Amino acid sequence: MKLHNIINGEQLKEDLKSSHESRTTISFYKYANIANPPLFRDHLFYHWNNLGVLGRIYVAKEGINAQLSVPKKHLEAFKNELDSISFLKNIRLNYAVDDDGKSFFKLAIKVRNKIVADGLNDDLFDVSSPGNYLKVEEFNQLTDRDETVLIDMRNHYESEVGHFEGAWCPDVDTFREQLPLVVDKLADKKDKPIVMYCTGGIRCEKASAYLKHKGFKDVYHLEGGIIKYARDAEELGLKNKFIGKNFVFDERLNERISDDIIAKCHQCGDSFDDHTNCANKACNLLFIQCPKCASKFAGTCSEDCKSINALPEEEQKKLRKGKDTGVRIFSKGRFKR
């Protein structure tokens, strides 16, 4: 059995679109000591592929970070497989809030140096000593206090479409860029309650430990992140302080948490909060585009990309040959082409 995908990605996307299989989107993470990440990676691929699991998973010596789509008929078998792995037994699973079952089209498990690119030297501080976890009611109570500093530990394009009321949302492109900025900007608030949140909790797990290392004395982070918060607030009948959408790193790109639209189309400025990728594959820019501009620019981010995208496919392939076609991000105020 080949322990990797052998079918063309475009075909897999089409298969997913036409599939009527009932699936659920799950995410989880765990910091743990994995002695042989490549071997562990192959073990996961073999078992999860047999269950029809799709998703994007990063494995490193420091642990695992997973976003998955699991067939509902195999959900119990999947959870049993997790429980058979000692450090994943009874792991907390975050279930998507707004799920159409079309979040991932293939299974990709990759070995990385870290499960989140944070730029930190973990040997310099105790990564196993994060800040205090907050459940939804505790989070609401603590963030109601005037002295509390609430920080969105996500990138600007995530917080642009949704964030918690009163949060500081740093204008950064990467988590690596954000950590030193937060430490510097809050240098005079080391005795204040610092509350952090992110999508599912993994970034805050490391960031809260780092802030403690830097002398912050009262550090907290939202258990399970935005995903768990939204579910728990609804189930418990508590106030949901998150406004807008929660950005997610899969085919959905977002999940609606509240009806508020706080973002604007990057081309015309109208209120809108749906992200898309430029239809010109050589560009692939991630940006916000309203239906009016999508029609005007044929799904591209500019007149130049519109012209390129109108060329025959063979000519487009020649133009992007040898170029990096990975996802680029629309950077607020510092748009790079």
Asked if residue 59 is part of any domain, the answer here is yes
Contact (CB, 8 A) for 290 and 264 = no
Query: What's the confidence (pLDDT) of residue 333?
Result: 41
Contact (CB, 8 A) for 240 and 266 = no
Asked if residue 262 is part of any domain, the answer here is no
- Tokens representing 170 are 């740093």
Beta bridge partners of residue 275, listed in sequence order: 288
Query: What's the confidence (pLDDT) of residue 88?
Result: 97
144/52 same-domain check: no
231/130 same-domain check: yes
Specify whether 198 is catalytic: yes
126/232 same-domain check: yes
Distance (Å, rounded) from C-alpha 301 to C-alpha 283? Answer: 9
Query: What's the confidence (pLDDT) of residue 169?
Result: 96
- Tokens representing 288 are 């916000």
Look at the pTM and tell me if it is higher than 0.75: yes
107/160 same-domain check: no
Query: What's the confidence (pLDDT) of residue 325?
Result: 61
Distance (Å, rounded) from C-alpha 337 to C-alpha 335? Answer: 7
Distance (Å, rounded) from C-alpha 227 to C-alpha 103? Answer: 15
In the set 198, 265, 283, 301, the catalytic residue is 198
**Location of structure tokens 């949302």:** 169
Asked if residue 257 is part of any domain, the answer here is no
219 membership: H or E segment, kind and range: strand 219-222
Give phi and psi for 336, each to the nearest 5. -110, 130
Contact (CB, 8 A) for 270 and 311 = no
The domain total for the chain is 3
Asked if residue 183 is part of any domain, the answer here is yes
Distance (Å, rounded) from C-alpha 24 to C-alpha 98? Answer: 10
Q: Print the domain residue range for 159.
A: 122-236
- Tokens representing 5 are 């995908």
Query: What's the confidence (pLDDT) of residue 324?
Result: 67
Distance (Å, rounded) from C-alpha 274 to C-alpha 289? Answer: 7
Distance (Å, rounded) from C-alpha 226 to C-alpha 203? Answer: 12
pLDDT in tens, the chain (337 residues): 566 666 666 766 676 676 778 999 999 999 999 999 999 999 999 999 999 999 999 999 999 999 999 999 999 999 999 999 999 999 999 999 989 889 999 999 999 999 998 988 888 888 889 999 999 999 999 999 999 999 999 999 999 999 999 999 999 999 999 999 999 999 999 999 999 999 999 999 999 999 999 999 999 999 999 999 999 999 999 999 999 999 999 999 999 999 999 999 999 999 999 999 999 998 999 999 999 999 999 999 999 999 999 999 999 888 888 776 666 777 654 333 3
b/e per residue 48-85 (b: at least 16 CB within 10 A): bbeebbbbbbbbbbbbbbbbbbbbeebbebbbebbeeb
Query: What's the confidence (pLDDT) of residue 101?
Result: 86
57/92 same-domain check: yes
**Location of structure tokens 């707004």:** 98
Query: What's the confidence (pLDDT) of residue 128?
Result: 85
In the listed set 83, 111, 139, which residue is the last one of a domain according to the structure? 111
What value, to the nearest 5°, has the Cα angle with vertex 150 and ends 148 and 155? 165
Asked if residue 253 is part of any domain, the answer here is no
Query: What's the confidence (pLDDT) of residue 327?
Result: 64
105/14 same-domain check: yes
282/313 same-domain check: yes
